[in-house]
Amino acid sequence: MNYKTMLAKILSEKELADMDIKKFKEDEVLLEELICKKYVLVVDWNGEDEENDLFNFFNQRSVSLTGKQLNVSSSEIYEQFDKSTNRSQRGDFVPFALEYFDKHLESLGLKAVLLDMGNDSYYVLVASKADSNRLTKLKSTFWRFKRVSFQSNSPLYVANCPKCGNIQFFGLDTDIDKKELAGKSCNDCGTLFWDDNGNEMVKIEKYY
- How far apart CA 104 and CA 99 sit, in angstroms, is 9
**pLDDT at residue number 111:** 95
Residues with Cβ < 8 Å from 49, sequence gap 6 or more?
A: 43
Tens digits of residue pLDDT in 115-173? 999 888 999 999 999 999 999 999 999 999 998 876 555 677 888 899 999 888 787 55
* Backbone angles phi and psi of 94, in degrees to 5: -60, -50
- How far apart CA 72 and CA 43 sit, in angstroms, is 21
Q: Which of 190, 187, 108, 102 is nearest to 146 (CA)?
A: 102
Helix (H, G, I), strand (E, B) or coil at 75: coil
β-bridge mates for residue 204, sequence order: 159
- How far apart CA 93 and CA 127 sit, in angstroms, is 22
CA torsion sign, 81 to 87 to 90 to 91?
negative
Give the E-state strand segments of the chain in sequence order. 41-44, 110-115, 121-128, 145-147, 156-160, 167-170, 204-207
pTM metric for this prediction: 0.73
Average pLDDT, the chain: 89
Tens digits of residue pLDDT in 31-84? 999 999 999 999 999 999 999 999 999 999 999 999 999 988 999 999 888 877
